[in-house]
A and B are shown apart, each in its own frame.
Chain A
């Protein structure tokens, strides 16, 4: 009959109206500045630099290899290599960046830099409240702003960070084992050399020194 659909519709909206007051589960709105939705793990915004340990300067994983700078499609990374070197996690001496800038007004969040970095140094962040009143200085992020601890990385991308941590730990142990083995080998070699030296100091009777009978 004419009007039955109208009544059904009116009943539905009335149910919504009254339901919205006593059933908070109905309300899909997240009241943003006060409440925030947890972003999914795979989400990404702009890149940041990971550092190990406490000191962002010392622990920075970046070796200033400039692969990301070259690969970045928008050319928004600017790196200057430092002259000095510092040991990386396996103890190898590496360069590190004196300057590492990313112009996030240009960065398009493609994540290519994070994909190509062979040192697990540059990773994608999840910050999204990036608006600022100053469109020049505050959008050019420097090394100090970009560097974030590994624990933060572990928090936002637990899966990836976990894998990387395990791999780096293994690398480190391997390197240590190798170093130890090397040291042992060296020690053994040294011992041999010493032995040899001692032997030469008290040489076995040589044919030359054998007195002719």
Chain B
């Protein structure tokens, strides 16, 4: 089948998509956007998180056909040209990136959190990111990064 959707503001088309293909596979292997990661492909790790019409979803659990005519935003679409989103900049600065395999999903999830809750408390950050596994950092620097990004976006840092 053919799937047509918008990704990061651009039209994307994928041909010969198999029935069982996930949005994650289409992004990674068919439209040249491998930024979303494939750590489990079973909805358990959050590394594949993308926005689907403004809602963060695990793209490994979304069938490719479901995104027809819809809007997807991936980690590749968070920055404004060369200008990193504060969440991205803070992840680097706070040391929240080690191997970085969890990072794309965490960035999208954290970005969505701050959109909806501009001043999250620590328990709120933890709850919002509880579906995103990271094996490297022990999460402390991720908390630092999200706190700081929220403050920057709120204009208080």
Please say whether chains A and B are actual partners in one complex.
Answer: no
